[in-house]
């Protein structure tokens, strides 16, 4: 009696710890998220997901429990006695018998807990289920089985789940039945060894037959899996898969069915020999058919004639990969690269030249941090590129948001971090080519509160409550005034005037939020009022992901200033799948991707809106049916935000990396890999790195009627440094999303970025100047090399910055290097360098909107360098070379003398 009571207490304690406590914690999270979704206007989205999770958890969790319990009841009916028999004699185990009830209860408890886990596992497949019952139509069929691709993308994942559920059920049923049979006498040890009662044997063999029927179905699913095989020359089924593995899987399916029938027959007639023969045959088929035979076919049939055998499968991989990544929509065009650019043509492309980005993100971010953070608790995290209409001209700008970092507060107590210091403040904005005489950026928007030098571009609501820092929750509309911004010796305080945040109302919601965030201060604080609102999930990527967990998000959200002076974030969201046949996968993204959704988030109120950017995508069509009213057409986006949409960098990078291989549509060329590209490399401070795609304003050859905002990247052949092509994605409506690839003539050498970097390093006048700057406590920062296609030619532009070696570095734009054809020059400004190359006298161009960058004067010949200047340059080079020799010998005295002499020569060169 006492042991039964102890058993019940143990079972109850385990149940509370493993089930009740997690359910209580989950219940608190569910209620908070319910309020949050409702506050944002997306209750339907949350309800749909929650109902599906609960339904799947109930159907599969309870179904698993019912079937497993039915199995245990059958065991109880079949078992005829409790005991342990050896050599026809009963052996009593008093100590073991004492715990028989505990063991039996333990089995039931394990079944209950496993059922609970299965229910939780099933609820995690809510998206697979919803897609399976709301498939979108896709007319493309796979080339092996002739089944529509929509079957693989929408139904196959949930079918796999059903298989694994059935397998888990059978495994638990077999193990629990065998254990109880041993415990209660259905399985015993007799004179001839292990003895199984007829009823128990029949029961276990029926379960075994069900298991092998599942294995037969697994073989059928494995056939579909061949379309995602990675063992061959290309991704997807190859010759060996189709001609050896596929027949072996069919044979395995037949043998599994025969084995299942043998189990059922054995349950009826009590014979085990057919079962044993069937299992041995199955093992032989699996070993020979899936391991030995494919290896023989690959070695002796495929390898000697690989191109001939694999040609149709290479065609399949090329076709389906291009479809899955939208590469088949790219527009490939030749680019002559004549290199006959004149100063007049450069002037005609003045909007492009005026928007060349001479401010690189890394040094500009450091500069912003030094001159505009103003207080220690403000951070600039990233620099973003965008374009704005300024005085009738489209100007490319760099901007950054001033975020609040509560971890940097002088006194990070609870009131400061959650009630008073609640938001960042304002932005900094500079033209990409704007530089003051001291080498610092020309700021269009700066300071606190934001001061704008542009009447058409002002920030009137600078509070940043939602951004990219992982700030904790904050509570607004409390009796404690919020810190708004610093002003002189004091601070400005005010109350929140927006609609963001979940209303707290009364006592019970305070209890709920205190439990959710495990913070009793929410319950006890006297500053919190019924009208107060709590802001949660304030990191914009987390905020959007919680609303739409079925979307993947680009890592580069960017801020936009609206016409009314508010700050919004625009995020790019992707629909992805790993179930597109024959498409080569991308790590962490699957093998199908579309940039189908644009998301806007108000930085002040946190309001989120979703817009369909690609209505042809089958996944977003399905999501729109599953969650009606969540997604709006892109035309519904406010015009002042719509004008700032852009092609996302991550998506472009993935497409470009795939196109670098899959532009080869000829199977023979693809097989030999004779025309594979990769991203060009560039030299940056610290070494060489692949170029990342960058935004610029340019007039595209042939198709462009005016300058437009594009995202581009240059390519070089694998193993070479000469440039082979460049790719550009158009960002401005109505041509948004149109991607062009311009290929250079293969019989002409076009310098690649790394070759231009080498020419810069080999230029003695440039390298000597860089060597000088890299001494005496300063260092040179090399900006990103920009490839600028213009007309039928290519320019290369690289900015140089100078910063202190130690302490608070403040990078200054010092020089701009321009390379064109055989010319490489370094000058103080971009217009000086261009004038030096193309002729004409350099003039300073003000960094003001609409001002032409280059002097509007006739093309003239380059002026000859005076003989005195030539001799001074030669003397400077001699001092530099001698200084390098002294440095290698360790002659520091001689090195110092030569450097001093070099400085004197350079001073003479600077004199008019």
Label residue 843 exposed, middle or buried (CB < 10 Å: 0-12, 13-18, 19+): middle
Q: List, in sequence order, every residue forming a beta bridge with 861; answer none if it has no partner.
A: none
889 has pLDDT over 80: no
Return the beta strands (E) in 719-785 as ranges: 725-730, 739-743, 778-782
Instruction: Convert the pLDDT of each residue in 95-118 to its tens digit.
Output: 555 556 666 777 788 888 889 899
CA atoms within 13 A on the CB side of 8: 4
Query: CA 251, CA 259: separation in Å to the nearest integer?
Result: 12
DSSP letter string over 481-536? PEEEEEETTEEEEE---S--SEE--SHHHHHHHHHHHT-THHHH-SS--TT-EEE-
**Which residues, 6+ apart, have CB-to-CB distance to 622 below 8 Å?**
131, 134, 135, 136, 154
SS3 (DSSP) at 649: helix
Of 491, 397, 406, nearest to 449 (Cα)? 491
Helix 156-184, helix 126-133: angle, nearest 10: 130
User: DSSP 3-state assignment of 169?
Assistant: helix
Residue 654's alpha-carbon distances to 327, 383, 651, 909, in angstroms, are 11, 22, 5, 49
User: What pLDDT is stored for residue 850 in this prediction?
Assistant: 42
Match 């006959």 to its residue by tokens: 340
DSSP structural state of residue 467: B
Judged against a pLDDT cut of 60, whether residue 242 lies above it is answered with yes
CB neighbour list of residue 781: distance below 8 Å, 6 or more residues apart: 360, 362, 363, 685, 800, 801, 802, 803, 811
pLDDT in tens, 553-573: 999 999 999 999 999 999 999
As beta bridge partners, residue 678 has 716
Mean pLDDT of 726-745: 94
Question: For residues 262 and 258, what is the distance between their CA atoms, to the nearest angstrom?
Answer: 6
> Which pLDDT band, with edges at 50, 70 and 90, does 845 fall under?
very low
Please say if the pLDDT value at position 266 is more than 70: yes
Is the sign of the CA dihedral 82, 87, 92, 96 positive or negative?
Answer: negative
Per DSSP bridges, beta strands 608-612 and 631-633 are parallel
- Can you tell me the mean pLDDT for 365-387? 92
- Helices 21-40 and 507-517, packing angle to 10 deg: 120
Please give the DSSP secondary-structure letter assigned to residue 328. G
Helix intervals (H) in 709-829: 753-762, 764-773
| Residue 94: band (very low, low, confident or very high) from pLDDT cuts 50, 70, 90 | low
- Retrieve residue 345's tokens: 């043509």
In terms of pLDDT, which residue wins out, 848 or 251? 251
205-234 residue pLDDT tens: 899 999 999 999 999 999 999 999 988 889
Rg (Cα) of the chain, in Å, rounded? 36
Residue 895 has pLDDT above 80, yes or no: no
Q: Is the pLDDT of residue 348 over 90?
A: no
Select from 463, 425, 435 the least CA-distant residue to 356: 435
pLDDT of residue 635 exceeding 70, the answer is: yes
Q: What share of the chain is helix, strand, coil (3-state, %, to 5)?
A: 45, 20, 30
pLDDT at residue 200 in the model:
79
Q: Higher pLDDT residue, 610 or 95?
A: 610
- Once rounded to an integer, what is the mean pLDDT over residues 676-700? 87
- Tens digit of pLDDT for each residue in 719-731? 899 999 999 999 9
Question: What is the C-alpha separation between 501 and 507, in angstroms, rounded?
Answer: 17
Average pLDDT, the chain: 86
- State residue 345's pLDDT score: 87
pLDDT per position as a tens digit, 48-57: 999 999 999 9
Mean pLDDT, to the nearest integer, of 651-677? 95
Within a 10 A sphere around the Cβ of 252, how many other Cβ atoms?
22
Task: Reply yes or no on whether the pLDDT at 842 is more than 50.
Answer: no
Q: Taking the model in full, what pTM does it have?
A: 0.86
> Mean per-residue pLDDT for 673-701?
88
Q: Residue 563 has what DSSP assignment?
A: T
Quote the percentage of the chain above a pLDDT of 70. 87
Rounded-to-integer distance, Cα 729 and Cα 716, Å:
18
Q: Does the pLDDT value for residue 848 go beyond 80? A: no
pLDDT digits (tens, 9 = 90+) for 758-790: 999 888 888 888 888 887 678 888 889 999 999
Q: What is the pLDDT of residues 449-490, one digit of tens each?
A: 999 998 889 999 999 999 998 778 999 999 999 999 888 778
Helices 198-225 and 156-184, interaxial angle, to 10°? Answer: 160
């Amino acid at each position: 009696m006492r042991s039964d009571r102890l058993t019940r207490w143990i079972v109850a304690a385990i149940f509370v710890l493993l089930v009740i406590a997690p359910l209580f914690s989950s219940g608190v999270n569910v209620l908070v998220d319910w309020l949050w979704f409702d506050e944002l206007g997306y209750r339907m989205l949350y309800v749909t997901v929650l109902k599906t999770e609960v339904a799947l958890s109930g159907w599969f969790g309870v179904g698993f429990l019912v079937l497993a319990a039915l199995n245990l009841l059958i065991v109880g009916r079949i078992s005829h006695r409790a005991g342990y028999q050896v050599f026809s004699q009963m052996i009593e185990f008093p100590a073991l018998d004492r715990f028989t009830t505990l063991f039996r209860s333990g089995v039931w408890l394990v079944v209950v807990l496993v059922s609970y886990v299965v229910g939780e596992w099933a609820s995690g497949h809510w998206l697979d289920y919803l897609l399976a019952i709301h498939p979108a139509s896709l007319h493309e069929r796979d080339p092996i089985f002739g089944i529509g691709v929509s079957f693989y993308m929408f139904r196959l994942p949930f079918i796999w789940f059903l298989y694994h559920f059935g397998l888990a059920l059978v495994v638990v049923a077999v193990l629990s039945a065998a254990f109880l049979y041993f415990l209660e006498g259905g399985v015993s040890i007799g004179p001839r060894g292990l003895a199984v009662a007829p009823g128990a044997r029949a029961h276990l063999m029926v379960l075994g037959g069900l298991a092998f029927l599942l294995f037969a179905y697994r073989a059928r699913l494995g056939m579909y899996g061949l379309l995602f095989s990675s063992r061959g020359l290309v991704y997807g089924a190859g010759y060996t898969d189709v001609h050896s593995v596929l027949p072996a899987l069919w044979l395995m399916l037949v043998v599994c069915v025969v084995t299942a029938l043998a189990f059922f027959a054995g349950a009826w007639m009590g014979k085990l020999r057919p079962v044993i023969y069937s299992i041995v045959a199955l093992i032989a088929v699996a070993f020979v058919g899936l391991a030995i035979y494919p290896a023989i076919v690959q070695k002796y049939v495929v390898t000697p004639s690989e191109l001939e055998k694999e040609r149709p499968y290479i065609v399949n991989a090329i076709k389906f990969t291009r479809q899955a990544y939208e590469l088949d929509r790219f527009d490939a065009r030749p680019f002559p690269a004549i290199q006959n650019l004149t100063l007049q043509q450069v002037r005609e492309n003045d909007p492009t030249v005026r928007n060349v980005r001479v401010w690189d993100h890394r040094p500009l971010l450091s500069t912003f941090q030094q001159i505009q953070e103003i207080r220690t608790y403000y951070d600039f995290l990233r620099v973003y590129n965008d374009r704005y209409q300024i005085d009738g001209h489209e100007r490319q700008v760099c901007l950054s948001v001033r975020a609040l970092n509560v971890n940097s507060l002088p006194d990070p107590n609870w009131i400061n971090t959650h009630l008073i210091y609640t938001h960042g403040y304002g932005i900094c904005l500079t033209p990409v080519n704007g530089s003051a005489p001291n080498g610092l950026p020309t700021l269009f928007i700066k300071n606190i509160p934001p001061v704008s030098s542009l009447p058409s571009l002002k920030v009137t609501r600078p509070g940043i409550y939602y951004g990219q820092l992982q700030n904790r929750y904050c509570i607004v509309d409390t009796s404690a005034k919020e810190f708004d911004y610093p002003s002189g010796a004091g601070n400005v305080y005010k109350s929140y005037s927006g609609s963001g945040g979940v209303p707290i109302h009364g006592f019970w919601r305070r209890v709920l939020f205190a439990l959710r965030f495990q913070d009793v201060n929410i319950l006890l604080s006297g500053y919190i009022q019924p009208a107060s609102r709590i802001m949660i999930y304030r990191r914009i990527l987390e905020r959007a992901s919680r609303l739409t967990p079925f979307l993947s998000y680009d890592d580069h959200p960017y801020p936009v200033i609206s016409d009314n002076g508010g700050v919004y974030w625009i995020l790019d969201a992707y629909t992805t799948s790993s179930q597109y046949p024959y498409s080569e996968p991308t790590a962490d993204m699957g093998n199908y991707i579309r940039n189908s959704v644009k998301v806007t988030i108000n930085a002040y109120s946190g309001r989120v809106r979703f817009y369909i950017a690609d209505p042809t995508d089958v996944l977003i069509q399905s999501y729109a049916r599953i969650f009606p009213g969540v997604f709006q057409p892109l035309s519904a986006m406010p015009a002042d935000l719509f004008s700032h949409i852009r092609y996302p960098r991550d998506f472009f990078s993935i497409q470009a990396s795939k196109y670098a291989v899959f532009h080869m549509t000829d199977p023979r060329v693809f097989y030999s890999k004779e025309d594979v590209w990769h991203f060009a490399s560039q030299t940056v401070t610290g070494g060489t790195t692949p170029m990342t795609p960058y935004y610029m304003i340019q007039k595209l050859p042939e198709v462009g009627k005016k300058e437009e905002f594009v995202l581009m990247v240059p390519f070089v052949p694998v193993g070479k440094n000469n440039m082979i092509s460049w790719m550009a994605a158009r960002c401005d409506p109505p041509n948004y999303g149109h991607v062009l690839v311009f290929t250079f003539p293969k019989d002409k050498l076009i310098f690649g970025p790394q070759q231009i970097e080498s020419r810069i390093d080999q230029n003695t006048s440039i390298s000597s100047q860089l060597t000088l700057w890299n001494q005496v406590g300063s260092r040179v920062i090399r900006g990103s090399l920009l490839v600028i296609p213009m007309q039928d030619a290519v320019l290369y532009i690289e900015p140089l910055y100078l910063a202190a070696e130690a302490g608070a570095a403040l990078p200054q734009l010092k020089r701009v290097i321009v390379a064109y054809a055989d010319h490489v020059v370094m000058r103080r400004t971009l217009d000086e360098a261009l004038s030096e190359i193309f002729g004409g006298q350099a003039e300073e161009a003000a960094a003001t909107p609409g001002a032409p960058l280059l002097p509007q004067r006739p093309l003239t010949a380059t002026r000859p360098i005076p003989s005195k200047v030539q001799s001074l340059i030669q003397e400077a080079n001699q001092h530099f070379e001698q200084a390098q020799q002294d440095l290698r010998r360790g002659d520091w005295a001689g090195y110092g003398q030569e450097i001093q002499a070099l400085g004197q020569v350079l001073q003479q060169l600077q004199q008019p």
